[in-house]
Structure 1
Amino acid sequence: MVPLIRSRQLVTVAPVDPTKLEVGDIVLARVAGTTYLHLISALNASTGRVQISNNRGRVNGWTNYARVYGICTAIDGVPRPRSLDKVRQP
């Protein structure tokens, strides 16, 4: 399976409004003390949590909205669909 983001590709990340996240979004999230880009595989809005996974189907676990710092808005300058609508406005 081809990765969504390959090593050394330039990504653009912006602060995110976690209430607007959807399955399939790529987010910058802190898990077990390290910050990574992860794919959202499930949401639980009532508890304010997202399930994060890799693109190979492995589920990494659940994390709360407070640990989701940003959303990937572009990869190598190519915009990610519907990501700019989820950027947190000041």
Structure 2
Amino acid sequence: MRGRIEDNQRVTLSPVDPRDVQVDDIVLVRWRGGVLLHLVKRATAEQLLIGNNVGRINGWAPRRDVVGRVVHVHPLTT
């Protein structure tokens, strides 16, 4: 997610009620047998369109697959 979160950059996640997730939230979501940390691009009552910060769209994920929401992005350390 170049620009918002870089590879290997630490984040703090918080539990979230999937119904409270909104467009522009960054969420950890179950995706194809793993998990992804991605940006919510669009939202319906039942699904979230997830993608990255540079225009790539992964697809629609059910809200029930949200694991948590990013509440803090930690500075990169060298």
2:59 aligned residue: 61
User: Residue 24 in 1 paired to residue 24 in 2?
Assistant: yes
2:7 aligned residue: 7
**SS of the counterpart of 2:19?**
helix
Q: Measure, in 2, the Cα distance between the counterparts of 1:10 and 1:2.
A: 14
1:71 aligned residue: 69
Quote how far apart the aligned CAs of 1:14 are.
Answer: 1.0
Q: Percent of pairs identical after alignment?
A: 40
1:88 aligned residue: none
Structure 2 alignment gaps of length 5 or more: none
Q: How many residues align?
A: 75
Q: TM-score, normalised by structure 1?
A: 0.76
Quote how far apart the aligned CAs of 1:35 are.
Answer: 0.5
Aligned Cα RMSD in Å? 1.6
Q: TM-score, normalised by structure 2?
A: 0.87
1:41 aligned residue: 41
**SS of the counterpart of 1:70?**
strand
Q: Measure, in 2, the Cα distance between the counterparts of 1:8 and 1:58.
A: 19
Quote how far apart the aligned CAs of 1:19 are.
Answer: 1.2
Structure 1 alignment gaps of length 5 or more: 78-90
Quote how far apart the aligned CAs of 1:29 are.
Answer: 0.4
Runs of 4+ in 1 over 2 A off after TM superposition: none
